[in-house]
């Protein structure tokens, strides 16, 4: 934490407040895809939640020192021991906790998901409040599905519990337009598809709009592209061509030393 071994007291402070934000990423031999996007996410959320700037160079040095050339799943959490729960509008100096875990590679097959009306609080921030996400996943699994897909109160598709999603309509990649997290993997796919000259668009999508889609997929830090098998009773055919296209788009962003 902040470049030093985290103490139990410091970790207890994070657990006790549960106010903050994070980014999750994969490292391979100490290299990362799109570190500037992760940094921009952390800096913007720190500014919004704590009224302070998050310095780039110390964070980069701490991450480099923590990784030491390893393969790892990395979670960088930003919170503040100076945060005043009674006066949350006061600026608070941020603390940074970097946690390393074994590399996470999703090995399950295409997801079967059910739609639910739900929206994360402050959906544009990858914040620490995850109760609603895992509760919705649990409820979906109790219904016989793998996970949950969120709909807004207007019926528009937004995001999954911990993932973004997109579709192929036979001519282009289609992304939903709704309040959601602008996931890093989704950003990388959009940028890569643009480099490859693949048509794509973003528009509001309701469940009724999905029946004309050729295929559907989800994307997050642990799995850049995986097909969706179904949404409710709407079944999507396996589409290896689209998966190959998305993997090619992702590969246009190099792995680099942060």
Please state, in angstroms and as integers, the Cα–Cα distance from residue 9 to each residue in 13, 81, 92, 236, following that order. Answer: 6, 10, 18, 49
Tokens of 12: 């207890």
**209-212 LR contacts (CB < 8 Å, sep 24+):** 210/157, 210/167, 210/234, 212/169
Task: Record the pTM.
Answer: 0.94
User: 123-161: per-residue pLDDT in tens?
Assistant: 999 999 899 999 999 999 999 999 999 999 999 999 999
pLDDT at residue 109, as a whole number:
78
* R_g of the chain, CA atoms, integer Å: 19
Write the burial class of residue 34 (CB in 10 Å: 0-12 exposed, 13-18 middle, 19+ buried): buried
220 touches 172 (CB < 8 A): no
User: 57-78: per-residue pLDDT in tens?
Assistant: 999 999 999 999 999 999 999 9
Whole-angstrom distance, CA of residue 37 vs CA of residue 148 = 26
Whole-angstrom distance, CA of residue 24 vs CA of residue 18 = 17
| Residue whose token pair is 């390393």 | 100
pLDDT at residue 15, as a whole number:
83
SS3 202: strand
pLDDT at residue 16, as a whole number:
84
User: 78-110: per-residue pLDDT in tens?
Assistant: 999 999 999 999 999 999 999 999 987 665 679
Residue 215, phi-psi category: left (phi > 0), alpha (psi -120 to 50), beta (remainder): beta
Residue range 226-242: mean pLDDT, rounded: 94
Q: In sequence order, what are the beta bridge partners of 31?
A: 28
What pLDDT band is residue 190 in, cutting at 50, 70 and 90? Answer: very high
User: 152-186: per-residue pLDDT in tens?
Assistant: 999 999 999 999 999 999 999 999 999 999 999 99
pLDDT at residue 18, as a whole number:
87
Longest Cα–Cα distance in the chain? 54
User: 10-61: per-residue pLDDT in tens?
Assistant: 888 888 888 999 999 999 999 999 999 999 999 999 999 999 999 999 999 9
Mean per-residue pLDDT of the chain:
95
pLDDT at residue 132, as a whole number:
94
Residue (of 229, 231, 236, 120) closest to 170 by Cα position? 236
- For 136, the enclosing helix (H) or strand (E) is helix 131-142
Instruction: Work out whether strand 226-231 and strand 215-219 pair parallel, antiparallel, or are unpaired.
Output: antiparallel
pLDDT at residue 104, as a whole number:
75
């Amino acid at each position: 934490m902040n470049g030093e071994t985290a103490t139990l007291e410091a970790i207890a402070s994070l657990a006790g407040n549960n106010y903050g934000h994070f980014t999750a990423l994969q490292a391979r031999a100490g290299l990362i895809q799109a570190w500037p996007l992760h940094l921009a996410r952390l800096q913007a959320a720190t500014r919004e939640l704590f009224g302070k700037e998050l310095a780039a160079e110390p964070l980069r040095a701490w991450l480099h020192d923590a990784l030491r050339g390893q393969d790892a799943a990395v979670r960088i959490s930003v919170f503040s021991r100076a945060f005043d729960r009674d006066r949350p509008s006061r600026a608070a100096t941020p603390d940074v906790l970097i946690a390393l875990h074994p590399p996470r590679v999703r090995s399950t097959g295409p997801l079967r998901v059910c739609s639910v009306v739900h929206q994360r609080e402050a959906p544009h921030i990858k914040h620490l409040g995850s109760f609603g996400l895992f509760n919705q996943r649990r409820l979906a699994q109790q219904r016989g599905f793998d996970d949950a897909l969120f709909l807004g109160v207007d019926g528009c598709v937004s995001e999954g519990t911990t993932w973004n999603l997109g579709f192929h309509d036979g001519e282009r990649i289609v992304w939903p337009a709704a309040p959601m997290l602008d996931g890093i993997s989704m950003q990388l796919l959009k940028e890569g598809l643009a480099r490859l000259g693949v048509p794509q668009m973003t528009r509001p999508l309701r469940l009724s709009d999905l029946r004309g889609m050729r295929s559907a997929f989800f994307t997050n830090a642990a799995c850049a592209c995986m097909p969706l098998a179904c949404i409710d009773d709407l079944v999507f055919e396996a589409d290896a061509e689209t998966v190959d296209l998305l993997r090619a788009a992702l590969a246009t962003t190099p792995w680099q030393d942060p």
